[in-house]
Amino acid sequence: MDLLKDVLAEDGGEIGDIGPDEDLSAFGINSMTFIRLVLALEMEFGVSWGDDDLQYENFLTLNNIIRYVEATASAV
């Protein structure tokens, strides 16, 4: 959650309380923010995704992100 807040703050946005299944696009996530979020997640969790792996729906909610990172990390 802090990572997401940091990435959004770089774009001048912010989020308050966000539910685990809320659509992040409602909080100002655009394509550039999405790329920064993916890069930050890769660095934070030591995972690496190829272009084919970057499906927006995998990053649409906090729960989606958590499941995707866990699945990717366990596959390494």
pLDDT in tens, 23-56: 988 877 778 888 888 899 999 988 888 888 888 8
**C-alpha span between 33 and 25 (Å, rounded):** 10
Task: Work out the end-to-end distance of the chain between its first and last CA atoms, rounded to an integer number of angstroms.
Answer: 23
Domains of the chain: 2-75 (1.10.1200.10)
Q: Is the per-residue pLDDT at 9 higher than 80?
A: no
**Which pair of tokens denotes residue 24?**
């992040």
Residue 17: per-residue pLDDT: 73
Other Cβ atoms within 10 Å of 31 Cβ, number: 8
Q: Is the per-residue pLDDT at 21 higher than 90?
A: yes
Q: Which residue has the tokens 């084919």?
A: 52
Regarding predicted confidence, which is higher, 37 or 3?
37
φ, ψ dihedrals at 34, nearest 5°: -60, -45
Residue 1: per-residue pLDDT: 61
